[in-house]
Amino acid sequence: MGDDNRLIRDRYRLIELIGRGGMGEVWRGQDEELGRKVAVKCLKQLGGGGDPQRLHIMRERFRREARVAAGLQHRGITVVHDFGADDGLLYLVMELLQGRTLSQVLEDEQGVALPLPDLADIGEQVAAALAYTHAQGVVHRDLKPANILRLSDGTVKICDFGIARLGHDAGFTSRLTGTGMAMGTPHYMSPEQIVGAEVDHRSDLYSFGCVLYELATGAPPFDLDDAWAVLIRHRTVAPDPPSTKRPELPAALDRLILELLAKEADDRPQDAAAIGRRLAAIRIELDRGSELPPWAKGLSTGAESVAVRRVRPYRPEAISLTGTWFTGTAPIASPVRPAPAPHTPPAAHTVAQYTAPLPAPTGPAAPGSRPAPPPASAVRGATPPTVPQSAAAARFAARQRVAMELSAAGRWAEAVDAFRALIAERERVLGADHPDALAGRYELGFALGRSGRSREALTEYERVAAGRPADHPEALAARQETAHVLGQLGRHEEAHRVYQEVLAARERLMGADHPDTLRCRHNLAYNLGRLGRVEDAYRTAAEVYAARARVLGPDHPDTLVTRFELAYALSRLGHWEPALDQYRQVRRARAALLGPDHPDTLAAGYEVGICLGRLGRYPEALDTYRELAAAHRRTGGPDDPQALRARHGYGVNLGRLGRWEEALVEAREVCALRSRVLGADHPDTLVSRREVATALGWLTRWDQALGEYRAVAASRARTLGTRHADTLAAREDEAQCLQRLGRTDEADELTREIATLRGNPEPTT
């Protein structure tokens, strides 16, 4: 299909052919612009007999399907970096992975089934990936061992999401002899897929049952060479129980596989997440049943001794719960927005904030943060845009790619300029109301919001919403973004009204338990808290948490996001003990799912420290902040603002324990680092400087403390205004210090001045 070292789109160099299949070839490649190794899947030339209209439709369908695949972000799904067409060749650029497909693994076994622990482990991971994609409204349609990859570390990934339907429509897939019908792979097709009926996620679950059957027995359910015979059996013949071919198979696994292979979709398990939980229970039971020493875990004995012996990667039990390895963006129709740090001044928003309503970082996006969400034109249910002439389409695609790469790199100002140029050209060629032009405005709004230009972002979102019917998915997405920006601007009443309108539409169109509806209700709960309606915020968050736990599972990341908000509401109501319990459970679950050093895990840990301090459990708080500071230094270095935030908490609790000399040293070091990293007038720097003054006061070094308090007051007056509440609080510290020094007249004069200023306060921000 391509020559060695062919260069695609002047960017992707094909180096070595590493696979060939029904839809094309897979090459080991090099991204010349970013200098990274990639896998490039080159699809066969488009069919259509030279019909320009058909070719045009196929290219557009490829673009839509590939964009859906590129929007999926999950540990169990192969990442799609880029896609496009080059001289009639369609291509996908994916992450390059070291591993083998399950087809290759089964070929290695030469007809021998996999060890049972490996089977349960693989099945559990596949179920988690399917649960995620089905929640996004995406159906694979061609799940089979050849499309499931097992990496060298034991991670399992599904390939070719979103492309199988394209292959069916364009005639790329294997054909049955003499029929001319385009079909999938016969050994793994559901009965409804065979007859050409509409398929949904339950068709994938049937295919998953076929895969599990083959992993369990060494052969698919109907192991025949005649494709017609296989298809007829899928429709009419019940498969033999896998236990008849492998007696040692656990009864629970035997039963699950047969349930998945039910002829009628309604008779199968309906939810991949529930299947994952059943497989997790089977895996745990297999682990408990093994009497091997720890160093031999995963080695096969007895009836499985002929299988290839391999050591399985260690995975804690908690990781088997619903939502395993979810790392992707929320659907754009209702992104989850973060709460500002409840105990420190709000800081600049970053891409990492799409992970959860957690304290916002004050520096660059944290490691492991999510990328920007997919563009509005990728929203489920969006009207397929009309493609302009091919030359214009190629030009638009190139500019879009540049703008999105700038966004992904966090270069928001440049991304804004790139999106503006793209929109101007799209509007000139397509018109201002064309779906692609409106999609560009959505992306521009996102980039503007991330660069701190909230009012301009608001204008773009309002234009997108105005250009679509009120209940259109893109209009709802834009209106929800509008509400978020209104909240950023402090217009919480307006934000509340918009959230209520969007929520009503989502409940009417999608139902009360749809994930997008629940995200909107979560955002509404968050905004209620910012309106000061903390009791209402608590009740709403509790309802959303209960619904998400029921629909997604108790340890799904979205459920944990709401549990975090629930804990925050409890803390604002002064219920510190239950808040502590909630934060600790969130921290434990995130540590199991994401790792102990993930930013979301550490954010929950920080709130644990705050609660412990509020409850007077200072030694425990001290240990918590020490651990947090060490973790942030490991991931972000000694100057990481989050590491400095943890060190600040550590110093505060040293003081609470009466260890003021140590507290002073810590406060001075943190203040110096914050001044260098964040600036001398940054709110966090001033908080640390005040802590220096506090320590000096406790050490009765009031002259030095007075200088620090005055410096804090002067800085706040410069940046916030003389009547701002924080400025007046700093002046009160100064007055108290003067009183301690016996300078009573000066203290009284300053107190009267503060009282006068309080009588005519400036609005706080």
Residues tagged in the binding site annotation for ATP: 41
| Residue 211 identity | V
252 close to 282: Cβ distance less than 8 angstroms: yes
419 close to 440: Cβ distance less than 8 angstroms: yes
Which helix (DSSP H) or strand (DSSP E) does residue 386 occupy? Answer: none
What is the sign of the dihedral through the CA atoms of 463, 466, 472 and 478? positive
Report how far Cα 640 is from the mean position of its chain's Cα atoms.
22
Write down the catalytic residue from 82, 121, 142, 555.
142
Distance between first and last Cα of the chain = 61
Report how far Cα 160 is from the mean position of its chain's Cα atoms.
20
Which phi and psi angles does 178 have, rounded to 5°?
75, 0
Report the half-sphere exposure of 335 (CA within 13 A, side-chain side): 29
142 is catalytic: yes
Residue count of the chain, please give it. Answer: 765
CA distances from 670 to 52, 597, 676, 680, 710 (A): 66, 21, 10, 12, 19
Lookup: tokens for 322: 């619903």
Rounded Cα distance between 543 and 562, Å, is 10
Lookup: tokens for 375: 């563009």
423 contacts: CB under 8 Å, gap ≥ 6:
437, 440, 441, 444
502 contacts: CB under 8 Å, gap ≥ 6:
334, 476, 479, 480, 483, 520
| Residue 116 identity | L
- Count of CB atoms situated within 10 Å of the CB of 40: 27
Rounded Cα distance between 528 and 526, Å, is 5
351 close to 370: Cβ distance less than 8 angstroms: yes
Residue of 253, 295, 249, 251 whose CA lies nearest to 275: 253
531 close to 557: Cβ distance less than 8 angstroms: no
410 close to 364: Cβ distance less than 8 angstroms: yes
Lookup: tokens for 67: 């964009």
Q: H helices then E strands: how many in the chain?
A: 27, 9
Lookup: tokens for 455: 């009012």
- In 3-state terms the chain splits into helix, strand, coil percentages (rounded to 5) of 60, 5, 35
Rounded Cα distance between 499 and 178, Å, is 56
| Residue 35 identity | G
Rounded Cα distance between 22 and 2, Å, is 16
359 close to 340: Cβ distance less than 8 angstroms: yes
Rounded Cα distance between 271 and 11, Å, is 41
- Count of CB atoms situated within 10 Å of the CB of 602: 28
Rounded Cα distance between 222 and 648, Å, is 65
Place of tokens 């027995």: 217
Which phi and psi angles does 19 have, rounded to 5°?
-175, 155
Lookup: tokens for 535: 């009791």
CA distances from 511 to 132, 504, 506 (A): 19, 10, 7
Place of tokens 């989050």: 642
| Residue 49 identity | G
The interaxial angle of helices 473-488 and 454-466, nearest 10 deg, is: 160
261 close to 239: Cβ distance less than 8 angstroms: yes
The catalytic residue positions are 142
